[in-house]
A = this chain, B = another copy of it.
């Protein structure tokens, strides 16, 4: 505690000294105080600190300007106001997202066949998908598990295996199927998904030996089970 007081007192005295020196330096354009200083390394460190701090401030302000760029309806150019508007905007987006999610879940029963294909974009970009899943989980369990109606793994030709998977068309079923096949790291030649009368027919041609046929079927079943129940110990 006493150390702190001493430190503060030293800081206080030093502060006044510095400001005086600073003023005199600016007024008279005096000879460099640094050259007269016994410790040159400290002045170098000080200038480094100055430049570093300048960089930090610059980055902060430019980030703030970037905030102003992504947030519409910025009332004032104030720093605090910019942050405030950003906060309000984020909260507004959160409310909108909740409302829209509610509408989607309300209308998803009437979605067209093609809408299910739309979800494949989530397979492309994992970052979007992850966030989407977050919001979905926060709202409630929107996605239903994969209901497998049929799974056939057959061997044709020398090194070609064809997987036929049929399941009922539910929310995000296509996304999950994509995830399943992505997670297996297969040498896929061609893949096909067909939506028809409430069902999803999936055919995948991939390069593999005949011996891998059975183990591949087990792998697929395991991956689907793990995706249906993420808390299962089989899930990684």
Contact A118 to B80, CB < 8 A, known contacts A87-B63, A128-B92, A191-B194: no
Contact A172 to B83, CB < 8 A, known contacts A8-B22, A104-B100: no
Chain B residues, CB < 8 A from A113 = 188, 190-191
Set B80, B111, B174: member contacting A120, Cβ < 8 A:
B174
Closest to A94 in B: B70
Closest to A121 in B: B175
Contact A128 to B192, CB < 8 A, known contacts A107-B115, A175-B118: no
Q: How many residues of chain A get a CB closer than 8 Å to chain B's CBs?
A: 75
Min CB gap A131→B, angstroms: 6
Excluding A100-B100, A120-B174, 14 further A-B contacts by CB distance (< 8 Å) are: A59-B80, A63-B84, A70-B90, A70-B138, A72-B135, A92-B128, A92-B131, A96-B132, A103-B118, A113-B191, A120-B175, A121-B175, A189-B196, A192-B192
